[in-house]
Chains A and B, each alone.
Chain A
Amino acid sequence: MAALNQFFAIYGSLVNFIGINALLALSLYLTLSAGQLSLGNAAFAGIGGYTAGILTMKCGVPFLVSVAAGSLLAGVVGLVLGLPVLRLRGVFLAIATLAFGEVVRIVVLNLDITGGAQGLVGIPNITTTWGIYLALAVSGYAIARLRYSRVGWCFESIREDETAAETMGINTTYYKTLAFTLGAVLAGFTGALYAHLNYIITPGEFGFSVALDLLIYNIVGGIRVWYGPVLGAALLTALPEILRGTGLTAGPIRMAINGLILLLVILFLPNGLASLFERGGRGKPTAFGAAVSEEA
């Protein structure tokens, strides 16, 4: 017990960061699972974080209500942004969300209510480690089950071949917008948790580099199964600490090793680290594994 306490005293904030990054990576995973590349999930986290932080600090709203409000607003913004863009195919969503992220950052930087460049300071410290990991467990499980619902099959079909999906009766615009909006809600939710973790949030924490990190977590971890992005986020978030443990100091070396890991994964594990954990046989074809047997 004492050892555990000591571990938490040293690595508590790292453990929290891993949980937060894993949740954000999952939010992007939702969008990616329908084949849509979003570079706006960091900005959605910012919207959720600032909304919840302001509500808690300046309006005295209870924690859970402000978290819900932050998630909801991020979702609504996602829906409004996604509807026109997702009628199109291809890279338009990536470009639109990239621009959107910058707009959010600049707006937050220039508003008074968000505290400008200094950030929003003095948010009550309410989020706990177990709260983060409870959220991670629930969203991970829900996303894993979603895979076998009609919505999940639609996402997969659209990712594999949008035209074929359309001719099977899938309203691709609807489901693409759904995937994007669900991702925005989860990102907003995570941002709201994060805002109540460290007393302060600043615009830079929700910038383009974070959006890109989320994508790298997904690629390194693997985008075929729900635990892929969690693995990727855990490994790459803990990497500086691991390197410090082996005597390498953080800094430029960290960036180089980050890049090296990304390169090795792309070359040798196209389905990410998660493919190391897959059993020999094929993945479960249905929601309940053995529901279908070959000689049936």
Chain B
Amino acid sequence: MLLEVNEVTRTFGGVNALDGISLAVEKGGVHGLIGPNGAGKTTLINVLSGIIAPSSGRVFFDGSPVHAMPAHRLAARGVARTFQNVRLFPAMTCLENVIAGQHLVAPRPFLPILFCLPSARREEAGYGQEAMACLRRVGLADRVHVPAKALSYGERRRLEIARALASRPRLLLLDEPVAGMRQKGVRQVGSLIQSLAAEGMTILLIEHNMSFVMGLCSTITVLNFGRTLITGSPDEVSRCPEVIEAYLGVSEHHA
């Protein structure tokens, strides 16, 4: 198991956004996280990426405890993420966004750059190629020098994934990667996620697009009211009566 979540709770005031969640994410798999609005999906991703600390419970990444770590140290361990309400660097171009995302893998020391040493020039060319590869991978090779704020909605989501890839993560947390996208974009992102998983990257994603989740994920965890309803294969999950109840409610004379 690459990621283990153990009885994690998170309270905001009197509200239990996460109420004792446990789940395990397998190495190299695509793990889906679904549930009705307000189930705690984004809160869980925020805890897993270190944006907020859990109120109690433990999180293990690759065997070591990470629940008390700030986001930047978790990132250094190999956790990257995207945001539900895309958080790019708006004034930077696509290429610059990805270059900024290379923070953990590109030291870019100041002195060689100050003196324009050939070694710095060589390294920079290498990083540039790598950044281009990330952009090509998400299908933004023709938007290299376009500022992020000028991109379409779907392009922004893909650029955010490219920026996350730039840090060569081991675990990628995607918060609604295809929300608001058209069919073509959904298919593109789907095959991108599949190819990343095939290379051994582990992916945990939140998504409301059910056909997308069912077709892509090997394991799905359903959350409701901050608790885990079920973890299982897409088949098991779609047949589970509690899941149907959580999504559709239950009519009174059957209750």
Q: Which residues of A does B touch, CB under 8 Å?
A: 142, 145-146, 148-151, 153-154, 156-157, 160-161, 163-172, 224, 281-282, 285-288, 291-292, 294, 296
Contact = CB atoms under 8 A, between A and B. Distances in A.
B222 interface: no
Nearest to B143: A294
Contacts of A149: 108-110, 113-114
Nearest to A288: B121
| Interface core residue of A160, A164, A291 (most chain B CB under 10 Å) | A164
12 contacts: A148-B108, A149-B108, A149-B113, A150-B108, A157-B100, A157-B103, A161-B87, A166-B51, A169-B104, A170-B72, A291-B121, A294-B144
B128 interface: yes
A146 B110 contact: yes
Nearest to A154: B103
Contact of A167 (B49, B99, B106): B49
B110 A167 contact: no
Interface stretch (B88-96, B186-194, B233-241): B88-96
Contacts of B125: 288, 291-292
Nearest to A144: B114
A292 B124 CA distance: 9
Contact of A160 (B90, B102, B107, B124): B90
Contact of B113 (A285, A287, A292): A287
A281 B125 CA distance: 20
Contacts of B128: 285-286, 291-292, 296
A154 B104 CA distance: 11
A292 B129 contact: yes
B101 interface: yes
Interface string B109-123: 110011010001100
Contact of B87 (A145, A163, A282, A285): A163
A179 B87 CA distance: 23
B110 A292 contact: no
B148 to A, nearest CB: 9
Contacts of A154: 103
B163 A168 contact: yes
A270 B157 CA distance: 27
Nearest to B173: A167
Contacts of B163: 168
B53 interface: no
A286 B127 CA distance: 9
Given A157-B100, A168-B103, A291 B124 contact: yes
B68 to A, nearest CB: 15
